[in-house]
Amino acid sequence: MSLEEPTEDNLNFMVGEIGKKLQVVNASAFEPGNFDLDSYHEVKDIYKMIENKDKVSVSEMDAIVSELGKLKNK
Those residues with Cβ within 8 angstroms of residue 60's Cβ, 6 or more apart along the chain or in another chain: 53
pLDDT at residue 27 in the model: 66
Mean pLDDT, residues 1-13:
90
pLDDT for 64 beyond 60: yes
- pLDDT, one tens digit per residue, over 14-48 is 998 998 888 876 666 677 788 889 999 999 999 99
Kindly tell me the burial class for residue 47, based on how many C-beta atoms sit within 10 Å of its own C-beta (0-12, 13-18, 19 or more): buried
**Quick count: other Cβ atoms within 10 Å of Cβ 35?**
21
pLDDT for 57 beyond 80: yes
pLDDT for 10 beyond 60: yes
Amino acid letter at 24?
Answer: V
